[in-house]
A and B are shown apart, each in its own frame.
Chain A
């Protein structure tokens, strides 16, 4: 499964969500599909994309927040998964592209060569960690159809979801992004001043996913 194909599959659904991505390949590929003002590319501070998403989700509970993360970044802030889980914003979807390598910071090479792998290459299960941290929904997908179905489900469901998408460690065609990070930083909050999309405009799930999302019993209270 290729990251770019996953991004293409969800791109139409991201119209007026708040989208926060990590640096590198994910940012460059989403940008290559067509930049929108409601996309924020966190070009540094690996691990904090989900924390930024949490701040938005809590401040604007009526807006869907989509965090597009990577295995290397998530592994730098595993505690953040527990903070997300206990805060449990029901408007946040956490997509993690897992290519088992630190591709964008020099751990990958053209042709899919993995020069510096992450622990997911030796068995660390990020969906399992998210589930154990307390995410109500967390699953791993390996096929594009399953990714698309899981993403549409997650966007429709009013609960915190995590989708770990196993993807190839492929470089983007280009890392070029013709927007300065500060331009992006200032346009993004303006986009968040626009009212969020009405739910009826969301694409509905077209088929049941093969593997139903894992649900853990509701926590007794929102905190602990």
Chain B
């Protein structure tokens, strides 16, 4: 599968490096290795969700209990979770680190991904959620660390968009 194992490892190491010990997730192709890494790590609690909005609640509970967490999801998962993000994370001022696969942009071959891809950034911006793209492996660790710092200091959700260039290796 042309999902980058090496870059998934870079992202996973960065997640752990910022102190995350609980990850809630729903799968999508680009996330398979990241979720497997969380599953295989005895120091990480992986919560397999039925729907993404639950993850916002799980992360809030973890925060109350003193544990740092992250959510792994596709952009449609983010769109699904909006009510929870507004009604828990924003309303109650709770840090939330979201890693969102940025499907539907340039290079997208799956027609069904193209609509969600168009709306992810405008919706993040409408909610005033700070966001950055992760496109190069060298940027991952510092950007993720800064995102977590801002989430914790501002008590807000933050989003990192996992790009095609980072997650996908086109078969030659």
Contact = CB atoms under 8 A, between A and B. Distances in A.
Question: For this complex, into which size category does the number of interface residues on chain B fall?
Answer: 20 to 34
A106 to B, nearest CB: 17
Contacts of A40: 64
A87 B84 contact: no
B93 A52 contact: no
B65 A60 contact: yes
A80 B61 contact: no
B65 A59 contact: yes
A43 B66 CA distance: 21
Contacts of B66: 59-60, 189, 192-193
Contact of A48 (B54, B63, B64, B69): B54
Nearest to A77: B54
A206 to B, nearest CB: 31
Contacts, number: 117
A63 B67 CA distance: 14
Contacts of A223: 48
A43 to B, nearest CB: 8
A52 B61 contact: yes
A56 B57 contact: no
B48 A83 contact: yes
Interface in A64-100: 77, 79-80, 82-83, 86-87
Interface of B: 22, 45, 47-51, 53-67, 69, 83-84, 87-88, 91-94
- In the A-B complex, the 8 residue pairs with the smallest Cβ-Cβ separation, listed nearest first, are A55-B61, A51-B57, A79-B50, A45-B87, A59-B65, A48-B57, A59-B67, A44-B87
Interface of A: 18, 20, 40, 42-45, 47-60, 63, 77, 79-80, 82-83, 86-87, 181-182, 185, 188-189, 192-193, 223
